[in-house]
Amino acid sequence: MNLSSLHPAEGSVKTRKRVGRGPGSGLGGTSTRGHKGAKSRSGYSKKIGFEGGQMPLQRRVPKFGFKNINRVEYKAINLDAIQKLADANNLSKIGIGDFVQAGLASSGQLVKVLGNGSLTTKLEVEANAFSKSAVAAIEAVGGNAVKL
């Protein structure tokens, strides 16, 4: 075997279809594009969402609602999750860093403590926001809710 005897496997290489090269080629005339219509013309490209002239879906469906640009999105964490975290790590002060480390929130996320569940130990909880029931439950066991 040498470089001059190398050739591709039988049937693996096909010749390119050369359209529009006269009637003798068998692919002249309409060049496999059929007769007339937009698809037979040069420069044709279908618009996104085009439905053949029928009113497209994005125009048939009515517009509604809006996005409030002033909305503040909080990650909600309940008191029972805070109690589990405090018991597992033997903590008396819990902040946003502890929530991130435990996987309850991601870094850069605003955290709001909600009052679902109950606390059994005295804790100092730091968060961006608290519900009234959460503050009442934290202070009921002698803890402290610190808003950042």
DSSP characters for 62-130?
PP-----TT---EEEEEHHHHHHHHHHHT-SEE-HHHHHHHTSS-TT-EEEEE-SS---S--EEEESEE
For 7-42, write each residue's pLDDT tens digit: 999 999 999 999 999 999 999 999 999 999 999 999
For 97-122, write each residue's pLDDT tens digit: 999 999 999 999 999 999 999 999 99
Structure confidence at residue 134 as a pLDDT band (50, 70, 90): very high
Structure confidence at residue 1 as a pLDDT band (50, 70, 90): confident
Query: Domains of the chain by range and CATH?
Result: 75-147 (3.100.10.10)
Amino acid at 35: H
**Tokens 């909880």, located at residue:** 125
pTM here is: 0.59
